[in-house]
Structure 1
Amino acid sequence: MISEIINICWIPFTGFISFLILLSAINKSIGVRKAYVNLLLRIFEYGRVSIETASKENQKFESKSKTDKKLGLEIVEDDDNKEALNGATLITRDAILLPQAQENTQEKQVSSKKEEINFDFEKCLDYVKSGIEAIIEDDVTSRFEAEELKSWNMLTRTNRHYEFISWKITLIWVVGFVVRYTILMPLRVLVCFIGVVWLTLCTAAVGYLKDGEQKRAVVHKVLGQCFGVLSSAISAVITYHNEDNRPSSGICVANHTSPIDVLVLMCDSTYSLIGQRHGGFLGILQRALARASPHIWFERGEAKDRHTVAERLKQHVSDPNNPPILIFPEGTCINNTSVMQFKKGSFEVGGVIYPVAIKYDPRFGDAFWNSAKYSMMQYLYMMMTSWAIVCDVWYLPPMYRQDGESAIDFANRVKGVIAKQGGLVDLVWDGQLKRMKPKKEWKEIQQVEFANRLKSD
């Protein structure tokens, strides 16, 4: 009896899954994902109102019970102000203490002549203040933690126990938990498995085609279908803006939040990729992609050789038949709040640069990959148990290096355009600071600045 019921239910279930995969493969939508996202927004809004109402009631109760008998003052905890400050920048730093990467430190070296300097201890106070500010709130390490949310999305782990504020919120949270882990996650794992197998088979078949215009057209169609299926595994809802500026050749640079950035962009166009060879799940995808289209994969030792990287990059860009090459100049994932220093290598090649800004909506799921904390499989598990991955992609007008402009200045100009369009904070710091100590040049800039202050006084 039970087996008959399972068989009856299995047929429409498999038919439904096949239908969704087919729609994703042909890049069509019947509006299910958008309707799902709109439903989530209504639930989040209901939760926000319920939490604020409960917070105000608790505040009134606490304001009556908390009274300082000695001073005769009433102590009221303003939870609303606490929430407003959560995730906000608490400190305004002295801009002169920030590193300026584009400046040549050799031109600013302190004169070797001995000069008499009257030193007062108070001249060190600005640097002492900056050190304390960095301890309280660090501009760098705070960019490698999960982005703070203004309101609870019934997903993020929190010690405030919002799910127990009222029985209605508790019921919604329990239903959401069941839906995510017993319905969405198994479906997404199945779709992801099908997508990876389909990508591997399709790229293997396309690899036997003769190079030429026909093969490039087939690759464009095949990769669009394969990545469309993979996007269904995370319930991706992607909105592309300014599609007239979509890259057609040259170099495409984008801010980097997650490995999903590649999937997001490949759903709309075909790109060549550059990066270090990986094993495991990423290695499977790299080998599959290499069979269908030209990509640049380096071994760990080769990736550190800037000359080798630049030479292979120039060779790829010089061939007009190659797809645009996608580069993430930050070299590491940032938490969707800012853009950090761009490496100058891709801006020394010459030619056109196509900037792309990517911004994820954190209300539905945290797309940031903290590689120092989570493995790739753990990250995929988090993605598949999130509500959805919702993001906006802006294709920006092509940019060219101006006469007399250094590669660093050009990189900073492109970075500023991407940050402005994506509503991200433009930072001068190197994202690799999360893995290594500050470079010697950064320390020298601070030393030179400190010496100049002493001399000027």
Structure 2
Amino acid sequence: MISEIINICWIPFTGFISFLILLSAINKSIGVRKAYVNLLLRIFEYGRVSIETASKENQKFESKSKTDTKLGLEVVEDDDNKETLNGATLITRDAILLPQAQENTQDKQVSSKKEEINFDFEKCLDYVKSGIEAIIEDDVTSRFEAEELKSWNMLTRTNRHYEFISWKITLIWVVGFIVRYTILMPLRVLVCFIGVVWLTLCTAAVGYLKDGEKKRAVVHKVLGQCFGVLSSAISAVITYHNEDNRPSSGICVANHTSPIDVLVLMCDSTYSLIGQRHGGFLGILQRALARASPHIWFERGEAKDRHTVAERLKQHVSDPNNPPILIFPEGTCINNTSVMQFKKGSFEVGGVIYPVAIKYDPRFGDAFWNSAKYSMMQYLYMMMTSWAIVCDVWYLPPMYRQDGESAIDFANRVKGVIAKQGGLVDLVWDGQLKRMKPKKEWKEIQQVEFANRLKSD
């Protein structure tokens, strides 16, 4: 009896899954994901109102029982203010003491050693203030932690824990937990497995075609279908803006939040990738993609050789038949709140640069990959147990290096455009500071800047 019921249920279930995969493969949508996201927004809004109501009731109750015995004054805790502080930065900096680019400070280093410096204690106060602010809250460490949410998104792994504030919220959280772990996650794992197998088979078949326009057209369609299926594994809802500026050749640079950035962009167009060879799950995808289209993969030792990287990059860009190459100049994942220093290597090659800004909606799931804390499989597990991955992609007008403009200045100009469009904070700090200590050159630049402030007029 039980086996018959399972067989009866299995047929429509497999048919439904096949239908969804087919829609993803042909890049069509019947509006299920958007309707799902809109439903989540209504649930989140209801949860926000319920949490605020419960917090105000608790505040009134506690305010009646708490009094200051010494002063006889009633002490009322402002929970609303706590919420605001918890979701924003603690310090508002009036002036940030930052070093200038190294190319502009070499002459200054030499000249500063020859001049006599008179010490004035008042000129040190700005540095003391900046140092204390950095100890309390620095601009670098906070960029490699989960982004603060303005309202709770019903996930216990976020930094808000309201699942037991009222029985209604508890009920919604329990139902959501069951849906995510018993329905969505198994379906997503199945779709991901099918997508990886399909990508491997398709790229292997396409690899036997002769190079030419027909192969490029087939690769474009095949990769679009394969990545469309993979996007279903995380319930991705992607909105592309300014599609007229979509890259067609040259170099495409984007801010970097997660490995999913590649998936997000490859769903809309075909790119060549550059990076270090990996093993495991990423290695399977790298080998599959290399069979279908030209990519640049380096061994660990080669990736550190800037000359080798630049030469292979120039060779790829010089061939008009190659698809645009996708580069993340930050070199590491940032937590969707800011853009950090762009490496100048990709801006020295020459030619056109296509900036792309990617911004994820953290209410549905945190797309940031903290590689120091989670492995790739742990990260995929978190993505598949999130509500969804919702993001916006802006294609920005192509940019060119101006006459007399250094590669560093060009990189900073492109970075500023991406940060402005994505609503991200534009920072000068190197993202590699999360793995290594500050370079000696940066310390010397700060010392020179400090010495210039101490010079007597």
TM-score (norm 2): 0.98
1:108-119 mapped onto 2 (5 Å cutoff):
108-111=108-111, 115-119=115-119
3-state SS, counterpart of residue 97 of structure 1: coil
Change (3 A) 1:97 1:160: closer
Change (3 A) 1:156 1:417: farther
Asked if the contact 1:248–1:323 (Cα under 8 Å) also holds between the matched residues in 2, the reply is yes
Change (3 A) 1:398 1:170: same
Q: 2: CA distance between counterparts of 1:46 and 1:390?
A: 20
Q: 2: CA distance between counterparts of 1:111 and 1:358?
A: 43
Asked if the contact 1:105–1:444 (Cα under 8 Å) also holds between the matched residues in 2, the reply is no
What is the aligned residue count?
Answer: 457
1:99 Cα deviation from its structure 2 partner: 2.6
Asked if the contact 1:272–1:326 (Cα under 8 Å) also holds between the matched residues in 2, the reply is yes
Higher mean C-alpha deviation, range 281-290 or range 67-76: 67-76
Q: 1: CA distance between counterparts of 2:75 and 2:390?
A: 42
Q: 2: CA distance between counterparts of 1:312 and 1:250?
A: 13
1:70 Cα deviation from its structure 2 partner: 1.4
Q: 1: CA distance between counterparts of 2:17 and 2:302?
A: 43
1:156-235 mapped onto 2 (5 Å cutoff):
156-157=156-157, 161-235=161-235
3-state SS, counterpart of residue 278 of structure 1: coil
Q: Which runs of 5 or more structure 2 residues have no equivalent in the other structure? A: none
Alignment of 1:298 onto 2:304: no
Q: 2: CA distance between counterparts of 1:128 and 1:72?
A: 39
Asked if the contact 1:102–1:408 (Cα under 8 Å) also holds between the matched residues in 2, the reply is no
1:89 Cα deviation from its structure 2 partner: 2.2
1:326 Cα deviation from its structure 2 partner: 0.2
3-state SS, counterpart of residue 252 of structure 2: strand
3-state SS, counterpart of residue 353 of structure 2: strand
Q: Counterpart in 1 of 2:19?
A: 19
Asked if the contact 1:110–1:448 (Cα under 8 Å) also holds between the matched residues in 2, the reply is no
Change (3 A) 1:407 1:283: same
Q: Counterpart in 2 of 1:351?
A: 351
Asked if the contact 1:99–1:429 (Cα under 8 Å) also holds between the matched residues in 2, the reply is no
Change (3 A) 1:156 1:101: farther
1:456 Cα deviation from its structure 2 partner: 3.3
Asked if the contact 2:99–2:449 (Cα under 8 Å) also holds between the matched residues in 1, the reply is no
3-state SS, counterpart of residue 95 of structure 1: coil
Higher mean C-alpha deviation, range 84-93 or range 163-172: 84-93
Change (3 A) 1:161 1:409: closer
Asked if the contact 1:105–1:441 (Cα under 8 Å) also holds between the matched residues in 2, the reply is no
Q: Deviations over 1:131-153 (max 9, x none)?
A: 11111001001000000000000
Asked if the contact 1:25–1:224 (Cα under 8 Å) also holds between the matched residues in 2, the reply is yes
Q: 2: CA distance between counterparts of 1:56 and 1:109?
A: 58
Change (3 A) 1:159 1:281: closer
Q: 2: CA distance between counterparts of 1:158 and 1:273?
A: 32
Q: 2: CA distance between counterparts of 1:159 and 1:387?
A: 16
Change (3 A) 1:414 1:158: closer
Change (3 A) 1:166 1:455: same
Change (3 A) 1:77 1:456: same
Q: 2: CA distance between counterparts of 1:382 and 1:329?
A: 26
Change (3 A) 1:159 1:234: closer
Change (3 A) 1:67 1:2: same
1:441-452 mapped onto 2 (5 Å cutoff):
441-452=441-452
Q: 1: CA distance between counterparts of 2:369 and 2:160?
A: 24
Asked if the contact 1:102–1:409 (Cα under 8 Å) also holds between the matched residues in 2, the reply is no
1:317 Cα deviation from its structure 2 partner: 0.3
Q: Counterpart in 1 of 2:69?
A: 69
Asked if the contact 2:342–2:415 (Cα under 8 Å) also holds between the matched residues in 1, the reply is yes
Q: 2: CA distance between counterparts of 1:423 and 1:113?
A: 41
Q: 1: CA distance between counterparts of 2:92 and 2:241?
A: 33
Asked if the contact 2:339–2:425 (Cα under 8 Å) also holds between the matched residues in 1, the reply is yes
Q: Counterpart in 2 of 1:412?
A: 412
1:158 Cα deviation from its structure 2 partner: 5.3
Q: 1: CA distance between counterparts of 2:438 and 2:275?
A: 23
Sequence identity percentage: 99
Q: 2: CA distance between counterparts of 1:160 and 1:357?
A: 28
Q: Which runs of 5 or more structure 1 residues have no equivalent in the other structure? A: none
1:217 Cα deviation from its structure 2 partner: 0.3
